[in-house]
Every structure is written in C-alpha cells, then in structure tokens.
Structure 1
Amino acid sequence: MEQYDVAVIGGGVVGCAIARELTQYRLKVALLEKEADVCRGTSGKNSAVVHTGFNVKTGSLKARLNVAGARMFEGLCAELDVPFKRVGKLVTALTEAEVPELHKLKATGDANGVPSLEIVDGATVKKMEPNVGGVAALSVPTAAITSPFHLTIALAEVAVANGADVLLQAEVTAISGKEGSFRITTRRGAIGSKLVINSAGLYSDHVARLAGVRRYKVYPCRGEYFIIDSAKGGLIKHMVYPVPPKGGPGLGVHLTPTIDGNILIGPSAEYVRRKDDVATTRAVARKLLKEAQEILPAISPRDVIAAYAGIRAKTTPSSVGGFGEFIIEEVPECPGMLHLVGIESPGLTAAPAIALDVAQWVGRHLSLVPNGHFTSKRNGAVTFRDLPPEKQAELVAQDPDYGHIVCRCETVTRKELKAAIENPLGARSLNSIKYRARATMGRCQGGFCGPRVVDMLVNEYHVPLTEISLKGPSSSLFAGEVKDLTCTPQR
C-alpha cells in the first residue's frame, strides 16, 4: 500500500490548488479524483468569473478568502500560463427602485476592501455598454474572467510536475484509521496517509461520513446556462449583472463574456434532489432568455449554440435560501482530517487563498520543509487561432500539423489536439480533449470535428473504437461496428 503525507480528496479547482500548494514542500502528496479527469464537477460548470467580493458578508471567512484570492489570481494565471482578462463588471439597476441596492453593494465592497467601486448613471452605462439597458449601475473595474478548465488542469499538472500523484477514477469508498495512519480505500485500491483533506465539493458531506463525521449536509442547487455564439461576442465588453434577488440562492441571471469570445447567459438557481442532476430544462431556458433580454435586448434564441448546467454545493436548504459560510475545519471526531464544505461561489476565486490556509493547517501537523526543486511556472498549450499570421506561418513551417485544421469552428489544429491527447494527467476521453483544446465547443458542437477527434484518439492510443468514451468508462461512445467496409481483393 502506497504511503503519503497528505491525501487530497477531490480534483476540482480547490483540490488541485491545494495539491499544487503542498508540493512547494517536501511532502508526498496524492490527489484522488473519482472521475476520469479533473475539473468534472462544479469547477468545470460555472461562470468562470474572478469575483472581487463586493457582495459577500463583511467579516466572514468567505469575504476574506474571496478578496485575498482575487488579489492572487492574475499572478497565479501568469505563472500557470492560463488565460486571465480584467473585463470589469456592471451591476445594472433596471428601475429607480433598484438603485438603493447598488449603494448597499458598494458599501459592502468598500468594507471588504474592493478597490475602485463606483455608481454610474444610465448615460454612463450606455456609453460603457451601448447595447445594455439600465438607469444606473455599480461599476466594478477589477472584476475578471478566466478559464476554469485550463486553470484546474494547470494546477494539477504543476502538482504532478513537482512530484504529486494524481489518481483518476479513484472514488473513495472507505476511510479508516487516525491521524498519522489513515487508510483510504478507493475503487483503484487503498493508500495510506498521515493527513486527509476533504475537498470533495458536492460530495464533501458524503466523504466526511465515510470518516465518521456526520455534522454536514450539502444541498445541491442547479444552475443552468446558455452559450451564445462567438459571432455575437461583441455585443458586450463587460460582465453585466442584475441587482441580486433578495434571499435568493444565486446572483441572478447575468451575461458574462468568456475568454474564448462567447457570452454566457445564466445561471438559474433551483434546488434539486440529486447531486448529479445536470439536466437543462425548457422552462428554465425560457426564463434565462427572458431575463437576459431585459438586460441585452439584442440577443435572440438563434444565437444560442449550447446549454449546460452545474450544481452548487450549498449548506443552506431551500427553505432558508441565500448563501452559507465556507466551512474549513478539523473536527474532534476525526483529528488529522480537514473538511472543506459549502465551497460554492466565489470558490473559484478563493481557491488560491484557500490553498494557503490549508497549507498552514498542514504545517501545524507536519514539518513544512521547502521543496528546493519546486517549479511554479508552466508553459500552456499553444492556441493557434490567437497568434498573428506571421507566427502561424512560422509554426506551420516547423510542423505541418499546425497547418491541418481539425475543428473549423474554433480553428483548432491537429498539433494542438495531439498536445491535448498527450496530457500529463493521462486523461483520455473526448471531453478531456475538448476542455484542453476546445475542439467540439464551437457552433456545430462537434458535428464536423467530433469524428475526426475520435479517429485521432483511436490512432494515438492504439485502441479499438469501442474504448473511446465521452467522459470516462461509463460513457462509451460506440457499442460496436455496424459494418466492416474493408475491401478484400478478388483473385
């Protein structure tokens, strides 16, 4: 049985940030993820926003970690070669009755240390965003966007480069033992660890129960989104939010430009029974479009190219609503195990700050000796379509695979797909390639490039077609061959 100093359960952005942070020290670290790749839960299905902290309760742990994480984010993305863009945010009041709420949000932001907040009038809103309505807005110039897929994957890759083991398809089924000698049983076998960090997101209450801790309850709250075609991406420059609904479980349906040029509409907020219920529904789709058009009338149903849903890990039931506090604690029932529960929005933003706090907790249990070989920097994948023509020509001359466009919607080359297929984590599904290289994310949603990517997976991995999956072993794309079209020469 392999022995570790620290086992981190959960391969979302927080778990991967923790694993990377701990590899700065001479610790043997394992990251356990139940899916076939990292970033498969809430971390990969959100608004991709780096929140500033103007709407988080002053004095709370969540506020401290939100503001601290936001300050760290740009530097972290630069180190990891991950996209980051400070586009700013407008929280718009559609009526005069909503304007007092803007002043309340500004007061909270000022108290939390959020810089450069300003209330602007309707004329200024129109100047900043000609296609957006509103009588006034809270301007948040330091708000930013990123790519949650690239960030989470990059954190995991840097952790691996610095000696961590990332164990995929390693769902935890039992936890026994005590501080210094935990035994963690997974579907891939058992490992031992001195300390355990429960960063399992939606399933953090379940993982806690495996260790005999029964004090937590996570309530799944679904958020549905639309993705608007990148051809309409120029309709807005900033993130555009409504005034948040009072007591609601979400921030309201907002419009968010993405790193890749699309616009996100959403999310909704409805409590659901199952933690894996990521269905998109007709009723919510209508609601999303209606509320989005109140802010941005220029969008239409024809602009929508895809829909998806993510699940928030809430600690407040539907009868209470609102937002609970982040829970980060070690409890008497299980010394040596740290629980991270209810890490919903702004969890993405707070992730690097949470990782620092967790490292300090580890330091109270184990000696933190700096890893003299730690490498913080990472060279991300080349994005061919974003390069100037002369650089593209240079790359094609170096490697003809850069001249072979496989995904036409997103201009993804064969070389980029090869790099994604050869990823350091060994993730091998179609979605793993999608989140690394954007193939199948365009308007045709894989209608053109999907079969070509599958063909590359078959040839690169030397496996039969039936072993190619969408997102892991339980999602095979092909049951078998219908016809064998191999021609046999006649004599």
Structure 2
Amino acid sequence: MESQFDVLVIGGGVVGCAIARELTRTRWKVGLLEKNLDVAYEASGRNSAVLHGGFAYDPGTLKAKLCVEGNAEFDQVAEELDVPFKRTGKVLVGNTPEDMASLRRTLETGRINGARNLEIIDKERLHQLVPSVVGEFALWSPTSGIMDPFLYTVALAENAVQNGARFFFDAEVTAIRREDGIYHLTTKQGEFTSRWVINSAGLGCGKISDMLGIHGYSIRGSKGDYIILDKRVGPLLPMPVYPVPSNTYMGIHVTPTVDGNVTVGPNAEYVDDFDYYGVPATSIESLAESANTLWPCIRREDYIRNYSGILSKWVDADGTIHDFTIEMRPEAPNAVNLIGIESPGLTAALPIARYVINLIRQKADLPENPDFNPRRKGIVRFAEQSDEVKAQLIAQDPNYGELICRCEKVTRAELLQAIHNPLGVHTMVAVKYRTRCMMGRCQGGYCQMRMAQMIEEELGLQPTDVLYNRPGSHPFTGRVREQ
C-alpha cells in the first residue's frame, strides 16, 4: 500500500475533500485519511444543505469573507462537478418591530460583508415568493440556494482522485510524531508518512491538534435534529424559510431539498458524545410545533425519516463561539491546523481550501499540475431524463430498464455505477446516497434487500460481509434457517 506523501489531509468531510482536490492542482503527492468508510459521514452529510448568502457572520471574519466568496462561485462549481444545485433564494421572516430592527441589522451586516442583492420585503412580496408562509415582512436573500451536500463532497473527492489523490478509509489517526522533518501518522491501516499534514478532522480537530502539539482548543459539539417530509409537500416550499436569527443561532427553519423533499430543523444543544445521532420523540414534536408557526404545512403523516448532525464549535469557557481558525504554528512545522470549521463550511469549502494552500505557499514551492482537470461527471439520474433520453439510455444499457427503487425510480444501471464508484467504497449507505435508492417514501422497504444482493454479487461478498454504514454494522449476521 502506498504510504509516503508530500501532504496528508486528515478528514474526509467537505472541507478535507475540497483541500485534497485543490492540492491536486499542484504536482504534490496528495493523500487523505478518513476514519469512516466513506466521505461526508459526519457534519458534511448531516446539515440543512443550504448555500448561505454571507449575511449572518460578523464583518471581518473568515466565516463572512469565505462564505461570500463560496456563494458567488457556486454556479460554476456545481457545473464543473456535475452536482445538483438550485439558487432558490431564502427569506428570514419577521412579525414584530423587534424583528424588523433585527433584520435591518442583519441586512447591514450582509452589505458590509459583500452579500449581494439583499433587501427587506413587505408582506405582499413575501407571499408572492412563498404563499404558504406566515409573516408580515422578511429579509430576502436571492443568492442563497440549496444543494446535495453528500453528492457535493463525493464530487470533490472523486475529482481529487481523478487528478491523482489517494483516499484511505477506516484509517483513523491515533498518533502523530515528527522525525527528521517527516510526519509519521499511525492508523488502523498502518503508518503513513508525509512532509506536510493538514488537520481537517471536523469534530476530531481538537484531538488531532493535540497530536500535532498544538494545545488549548475546547471543541464542543452542537447537535441539531431534523425531520424529513414527503415529496408531496415539496411544491408548497419554493425556498428555505428561516425565522429572525439570534446572535449565535439561525433558528428552526424549513428547507426544500434539491430532490423535492422538505427538511424541518434543526434545534441545537451542546453534546459531549460526538457519535450519537439519535433523535428523541420530544425533539420531533418540538421541531414541528416551532416550524408550523412559520410554515403551517407540517403534518405527521408526511414524516418519512429523521436525522441529526453535530457541528464542531470552538467555544471559550465564557461561551464565546470563535471564528474559523486556519493556522500554521511553530509547535507543528509544516502543518496547517483547522479548528472550529462549522457553518458556513459547506458554502465556504473551496475558499477554505484555497486559503490553506496560500498558507502553504508561504513556506513551500507548489509546482502547478498542467494536467489538472476540474470537471467530473456524476451518475445520470434516469428518473430526471426526458422520455427520449430514457429510451436512448436503455438502448445503450438494458440495466436502465430495470427499476430497483420504485419510490425514487432508481435503476439497476445507476446502482451498478454507485457500487463501482471511483472511491472504492461500497457500504449500503454509500450506494444509497449516490443514487437515492432507499430514500423514498418506503425508506428501503422494497429496494433494500435488492441493493444488498447487488453489492454481494458485484463484489463477490458473502451476505455477512455487507456493511450498512460503519465498521461492524452488519445487516446480516447469519441465516435464519439452513436450506
């Protein structure tokens, strides 16, 4: 196994994958170490999936600067990487004089930050944009949008691999030492060496920082729960709808997805367990009650699933939440340390990556890779094609003519491409998020076993070898009865 690199990125979230991708614009030998079995298994795949406008962050911060930069370029990024994206706009809805004062302050913050085309709109204009909303006025951000955060992270990773990067999964870093100018990183997959190390470990950034010899960061997990609603309510919500934000929290909101569902949430609470993603029934009830005051279309019969995500926040003893920290320190030569990369990390991922690379350029030569290709092609979604294109696809490959997932209209051809993906990952959730198989109304009731059988057959696995998402997550532990 190849284990010697010019630079190793620790963490396969959206920021780590963006850094790896941007580093392949150089001739450096790039590797990425991820503790999970695929990219985006933590905060990057568990969020509101919103492209933020840049008005919610203090002027002069990296959060503000890099968010505005990421927002402005995302049409081109989405086109290059072939990922779903809609610039829907977003409204922050208010009702009281206090709300109006808060929105005016937010508007001014956005203008200072460089957020584009913000305006306060009245009730008539608000209800033209979102007829089903409850509110008297709103801050309208036309440049905000929605995306698929998992597919975006996958696309960054695949484009990095396409340009020469190596990704290693189930490779949690457990120790780091530096000898003779070379870093030695101990993982479950053995030891890796590199001249440079980049800590983009998300929730694990504090631990990695300590391993690098940079101490003093207190990382808190901010857990938020969500409800996913059926696609039949999707037409009622053309854009994300938010309440008036507080100083530290954007509030429980409702957001359409690029696939037609609606998500409700998140709430927020500090947690010490960074591995627990359960959603209690009381949380679901409070989410619906709160969001219904803003958008009264949330009914229990439309719930199809819930999920949660945990953000990594650098919080002082007095409760102050810090800006993104992206640093090089003398305690860790030739290392870049990223701390507290939370929202808007999804929007700002590529600007963060460029910021990291500019820091490295201050100390090292980064020769350009003339063969870098920024374009990546994703899996064609059969259900979204015209009848003419569908007929052409089936003529080229009969596997497009067999539906595996009835709810989302996912074909065998799409699952085959997902199983044989460029990153070489093959958990059931990896295939699920690349195709939307198991993500419809029945949540896998029809297609889950068919997917599992395809994974077994295509990869030559025994049923007991198939994993759902994480090490040890075996859907099958043996036969119910022998034949």
Q: TM-score range by the shorter chain?
A: over 0.9
1:477 aligned to which of 465, 475, 478: 475
Query: How far apart, in 2, do the equivalents of 1:179 and 1:302 lie?
Result: 62
Residue equivalent to 1:413: 411
Query: How far apart, in 2, do the equivalents of 1:84 and 1:386 lie?
Result: 14
Q: Does 1:428 align with 2:426?
A: yes
Aligned AA (1:138):
L
Instruction: Please state how far the C-alpha of 1:443 moved relative to its aligned partner.
Output: 1.0
Aligned AA (1:433):
V
Residue equivalent to 2:59: 58
Residue equivalent to 1:264: 263
1:458 aligned to which of 449, 456, 459: 456
Instruction: Please state how far the C-alpha of 1:318 moved relative to its aligned partner.
Output: 8.7
Question: For each residue in 1:341-392, what CA deviation from the matched residue of structure 2 results, as whole angstroms up to 9, or x when unmatched?
Answer: 1011000001010011111122223211111111111111101111111111
Query: How far apart, in 1, do the equivalents of 2:163 and 2:47 lie?
Result: 28
Question: For each residue in 1:438-463, what CA deviation from the matched residue of structure 2 results, as whole angstroms up to 9, or x when unmatched?
Answer: 10111111111001100111111111
- Which stretch shifts more, 285-294 or 362-371? 362-371
Residue equivalent to 1:489: none
Aligned AA (2:363):
H
Alignment size in residue pairs: 482
8 Å CA contact retained: 2:185, 2:192: yes
Q: Does 1:89 align with 2:90?
A: yes
Query: How far apart, in 2, do the equivalents of 1:213 and 1:127 lie?
Result: 52
Residue equivalent to 1:488: none
Q: How does 1:118-157 map to 2 (within 5 A)?
A: 118-157=119-158
Provide the secondary structure at the position in 2 that maps to 1:132: coil
Provide the secondary structure at the position in 2 that maps to 1:210: helix
Provide the secondary structure at the position in 2 that maps to 1:295: coil
- Which stretch shifts more, 361-370 or 372-381? 361-370
Q: Does 1:167 align with 2:168?
A: yes
Query: How far apart, in 1, do the equivalents of 2:212 and 2:140 lie?
Result: 46
Aligned AA (1:81):
D
8 Å CA contact retained: 2:170, 2:188: yes
Residue equivalent to 1:291: 290
Aligned AA (1:39):
A
Query: How far apart, in 2, do the equivalents of 1:81 and 1:214 lie?
Result: 40
Identity level (%):
44
Aligned AA (1:3):
Q
Query: How far apart, in 2, do the equivalents of 1:265 and 1:462 lie?
Result: 40
Instruction: Please state how far the C-alpha of 1:79 moved relative to its aligned partner.
Output: 0.6
8 Å CA contact retained: 1:213, 1:333: yes
Residue equivalent to 2:444: 446
8 Å CA contact retained: 1:178, 1:334: no
Aligned AA (1:370):
E
Aligned AA (2:135):
G
8 Å CA contact retained: 2:218, 2:316: no
Question: For each residue in 1:150-180, what CA deviation from the matched residue of structure 2 results, as whole angstroms up to 9, or x when unmatched?
Answer: 1101111111111111011111011001583
Instruction: Please state how far the C-alpha of 1:472 moved relative to its aligned partner.
Output: 3.0
Residue equivalent to 2:333: 335
Aligned AA (1:296):
W
Q: How does 1:34-433 map to 2 (within 5 A)?
A: 34-177=35-178, 180-245=181-246, 247-248=247-248, 250-316=249-315, 320=319, 323-433=321-431
8 Å CA contact retained: 2:71, 2:143: no
Moved over 4 A (4+): none
Query: How far apart, in 2, do the equivalents of 1:61 and 1:128 lie?
Result: 31
8 Å CA contact retained: 1:180, 1:193: no
8 Å CA contact retained: 1:220, 1:314: yes
Instruction: Please state how far the C-alpha of 1:301 moved relative to its aligned partner.
Output: 1.3
Query: TM-score by structure 2 length?
Result: 0.98
Aligned AA (1:259):
V
Structure 1: state its 5+ residue gaps: 486-491
Query: TM-score by structure 1 length?
Result: 0.96
1:111–1:446 CA distance, 2 compared to 1 (3 A) = same
Query: How far apart, in 2, do the equivalents of 1:319 and 1:471 lie?
Result: 37
8 Å CA contact retained: 1:52, 1:142: yes
Instruction: Please state how far the C-alpha of 1:276 moved relative to its aligned partner.
Output: 1.1
Question: For each residue in 1:80-138, what CA deviation from the matched residue of structure 2 results, as whole angstroms up to 9, or x when unmatched?
Answer: 11111100001000334311111111010011111111101112111211111101000
Provide the secondary structure at the position in 1 that maps to 2:293: helix
Aligned AA (1:311):
I
Query: How far apart, in 2, do the equivalents of 1:288 and 1:96 lie?
Result: 25
Provide the secondary structure at the position in 2 that maps to 1:223: strand
Aligned AA (2:481):
K
8 Å CA contact retained: 1:179, 1:195: no
Provide the secondary structure at the position in 1 that maps to 2:242: strand
1:281–1:191 CA distance, 2 compared to 1 (3 A) = same
1:229–1:445 CA distance, 2 compared to 1 (3 A) = same
Instruction: Please state how far the C-alpha of 1:484 moved relative to its aligned partner.
Output: 2.8
Query: How far apart, in 2, do the equivalents of 1:90 and 1:372 lie?
Result: 43
Question: For each residue in 1:192-220, what CA deviation from the matched residue of structure 2 results, as whole angstroms up to 9, or x when unmatched?
Answer: 10010000000000111122222212101
Instruction: Please state how far the C-alpha of 1:319 moved relative to its aligned partner.
Output: 5.8
Query: How far apart, in 1, do the equivalents of 2:363 and 2:443 lie?
Result: 48
Structure 2: state its 5+ residue gaps: none
Aligned AA (2:72):
R
Provide the secondary structure at the position in 2 that maps to 1:26: coil
